[in-house]
Amino acid sequence: MGVAEDLKKRIDEIVDSNKDMAKKLVNLFEEQIEELTRRLGPKKNEDILASLFAGCAKERGKMPMLGEVFPKIETQTTHGPISIPEDLKGKWSVLFSHPADFTPVCTTEFVAFQKRKEEFDRLNTRLIGLSIDQVFSHIKWIEWIKEKLDIEIEFPIVAATDTIAAELGMVHPKKGTNTVRAVFILDPEAVVRTILYYPQEIGRNIDEILRALKALQKSDEEGVATPANWPKNELIGDRVIVPPAADIKTADERVKKYECFDWWFCHKEG
């Protein structure tokens, strides 16, 4: 048998093996559906699917998702104990994780957040740092920042356990046990509105986090959307986008009421 024929035979074997695996997965899924149907009785298909998704949600643990209330956490911070999400309600929050205390990139980020704290305050927003370092490490680190850089870190830093960090989706493959640079923007109901992830080797752009926060608040207040690079968009500048019409009558009215490129792309002053 030649090399080409041998290679073709091996490829065929792999394909056949994958077909067999696919059949096994389909059969397993069908068995699970049948078992759910038996347990749930005469319920609609959507009820069965809802049960499946609920099971998936349970499996993924506490990992936050957009539109969900932030998972329950009770732990210690540099400002005392904290109970999330209860203690976060009533104001917007930016919860951000960092890989480790006493590291250069993280130090620059904390200084950058602190330099903009007054602006976050004006937006009714609290800042909360987080890593798996212990509170005594956080305290010593912010003392070092105060002593060496003359910057006083005024926001709390959460001391998370490895388990909490993993469940919140802050520990990623091939990044060790340290947390990646995750950012969660929460509204006054502690609902997750934005999630950002940065690798350990890249520091965050704090101005972009501020921009996203301002855009969320603008969207909530006026029922609008914001364009790319808002408030410096290449097409409409600092204007905001009117939600597309849902019927013919509204589509006709939109082009008369607003400036539009077309009925589905109208904008106004923000």
Q: Region of 41 please: left (phi>0), alpha (psi -120 to 50) or beta.
A: left
> Cβ-count burial of 28 within 10 angstroms (0-12 exposed, 13-18 middle, 19+ buried)?
exposed
Assign residue 266 a region (left: φ > 0; alpha: ψ between -120 and 50; beta: otherwise): beta
Question: What's the token pair of residue 10?
Answer: 């091996």
186/45 Cα distance (integer angstroms): 33
CB 130 within 8 A of CB 162: no
- The token pair that represents 256 in the structure block: 């008369």
Annotated active-site residue in 56, 106, 260, 266: 106
Tell me how many degrees the CA angle 187-190-191 measures, rounded to the nearest 5.
Answer: 75
Active site residue 106: yes
Give the residue numbers marked as catalytic.
Answer: 106
